[in-house]
């Protein structure tokens, strides 16, 4: 997965540019893809309050991660409004000239992604630093057709924790077993306190595998 910078292209000069004249250029494979700012709703709303010169500064600071599914659908994680370490970010899907977007958890880090074998589901692993030695994670499982969250079930407590926006424990690996089931690897610890997880991180790192199932749509 490559990390790329997004660049603003102004197609007209002179007066303040309209949203229709602003594009994010996304380098991908051997070419590039132009994404209209107005097509990315969370980013569009964020930039509304800025003057034209401020907009250019903000857009020049945008970063992102791009990837393509095996069937050719393009996705991007656009990171904007960045502070010293963390950013707001939004998932964008570009399919047949149509754009969908979904805001991701504020202040979280994009860790990895994984498609189900039939590409109907997309698992996204987000992370959040706690101190300098520990990263807690959250998994999101989305229907690729709509970018809506999927219904996930399994062990009630662990499933809720894995999906929680509280970022309860580290998730070390995500692996699809088949189209509607995946396994996650998590610490094998008696609790998820900072002290316990820090000790686990520094010592043996014993793990356990948890099965999550997704209700088909």
Q: Over the stretch 157-196, which tens digit does the pLDDT of each residue have?
A: 999 999 999 999 999 999 999 999 999 999 999 999 999 9
> Has residue 204 got a pLDDT over 90?
no
pLDDT recorded at residue 179: 96
Percent of the chain at pLDDT exceeding 70:
89
pTM score of the predicted model: 0.85
- φ, ψ of residue 169 to 5 degrees: the values are -145, 165
C-alpha dist (Å) from residue 159 to 133, 137, 139, 162, 212? 24, 13, 10, 5, 7
CA–CA dist 156, 141 (Å, integer): 16
What is the band of 202 on the pLDDT scale with cuts at 50, 70, 90?
A: very high
């Amino acid at each position: 997965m490559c990390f790329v910078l997004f660049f603003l292209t102004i197609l007209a000069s002179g007066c303040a540019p309209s949203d229709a004249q602003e594009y994010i250029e996304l380098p991908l494979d051997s070419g590039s893809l132009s994404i209209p700012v107005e097509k990315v709703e969370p980013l569009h709303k964020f930039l509304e309050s800025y003057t034209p010169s401020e907009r250019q500064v903000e857009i020049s600071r945008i970063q992102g991660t791009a990837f393509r599914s095996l069937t050719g659908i393009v996705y991007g994680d656009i990171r904007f409004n960045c502070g010293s370490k963390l950013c707001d970010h939004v998932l964008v899907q570009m399919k047949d000239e149509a754009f969908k977007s979904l805001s991701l958890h504020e202040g979280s880090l994009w860790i990895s992604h994984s498609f189900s074998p039939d590409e109907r589901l997309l698992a996204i692993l987000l992370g959040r630093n706690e101190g300098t030695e520990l990263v807690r994670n959250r998994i999101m499982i989305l229907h690729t057709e709509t970018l809506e969250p999927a219904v996930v079930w399994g062990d009630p407590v662990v499933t809720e924790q894995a999906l929680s926006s509280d970022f309860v424990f580290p998730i070390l690996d995500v692996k699809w077993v088949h189209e509607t089931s995946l396994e996650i690897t998590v610490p094998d610890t008696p609790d998820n306190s900072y002290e316990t997880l820090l000790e686990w991180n520094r010592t043996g790192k014993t793990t356990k595998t948890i099965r999550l199932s997704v209700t088909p749509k």
